[in-house]
């Protein structure tokens, strides 16, 4: 008798890596209230010369996500269309939301903090039941604890929110939205076919893009 296994099909990607961050300088930004937190009035902060090196690092990891993990071979590249800074002060939070006019979104944390980012499963709950442990196939919420330089990329449709900042100290992050630029497929009519010739990919596959 073969050992049973649970396969996770049509998974929601959540890419994570660590990058170097410049020193936090709040004086570079103007602010507006965003319900229970603050966001920068500047909505293209990664175009600022002070963040040039950070922009390069984010762009480089966007390409790793797109080419190595999503295994894109098309001409199109993911390009940042919008970027801004979020500050959640003590007692604040960030309401449940998603990102419109974007394909993939990302966040980079400017500090370690105990106020998690929470991603909400868009297909849950059809059944709400008690479990012994949580994993990719039975979770309603997926929590990630902010760490300095932690960068996440996720589909822009994926709803998320931020826990209440009850530990004190500012929780600072930079968010960005992307859209593909260039040709996505050489055969735009292939979506009309109900069958797919695509071979399944192993989630652990890794290809090095350094010399591309």
The verdict on pTM exceeding 0.85 is yes
Residue 145 pLDDT more than 70?
yes
DSSP structure class, residue 46: G
- Rg, the chain, Cα only: 19
Please say whether the dihedral angle defined by the alpha carbons of residues 15, 16, 22 and 28, taken in this order, is positive or negative.
Answer: positive
Tokens in use for 30?
């103007």
Would you place residue 212 in the very low, low, confident or very high pLDDT band (cuts 50, 70, 90)? very low
* pLDDT tens readout for residues 149-174: 999 999 999 999 998 898 878 999 99
> Distance between CA atoms of 89 and 164, rounded to whole angstroms?
9
Nearest to 175 by CA among 70, 34, 4: 34
């Amino acid at each position: 008798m073969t050992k049973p296994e649970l396969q996770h099909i049509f998974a929601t990607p959540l890419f994570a890596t660590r990058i170097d961050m410049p020193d936090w300088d709040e004086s570079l930004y103007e602010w507006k209230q965003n319900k229970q937190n603050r966001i920068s009035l500047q909505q293209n902060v990664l175009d600022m010369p002070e963040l040039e090196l950070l922009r390069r690092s984010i762009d480089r990891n966007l390409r790793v996500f797109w080419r190595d993990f999503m295994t894109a071979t098309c001409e199109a590249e993911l390009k940042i269309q919008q970027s801004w800074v979020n500050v959640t002060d003590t007692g604040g939070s960030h309401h449940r939301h998603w990102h419109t006019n974007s394909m993939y979104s990302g966040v980079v944390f400017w500090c370690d903090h105990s106020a998690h980012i929470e991603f909400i499963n868009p297909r849950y709950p059809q059944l709400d039941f008690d479990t012994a442990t949580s994993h990719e196939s039975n979770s309603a919420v997926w929590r990630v604890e902010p760490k300095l330089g932690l960068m996440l990329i996720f589909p822009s449709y994926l709803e998320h929110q931020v826990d209440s900042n009850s530990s004190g100290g500012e929780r600072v992050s930079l968010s960005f939205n992307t859209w593909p630029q260039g040709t996505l497929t050489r055969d735009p009519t292939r979506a009309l076919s109900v069958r797919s010739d695509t071979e399944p990919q192993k989630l652990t596959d890794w290809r090095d893009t350094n010399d591309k």
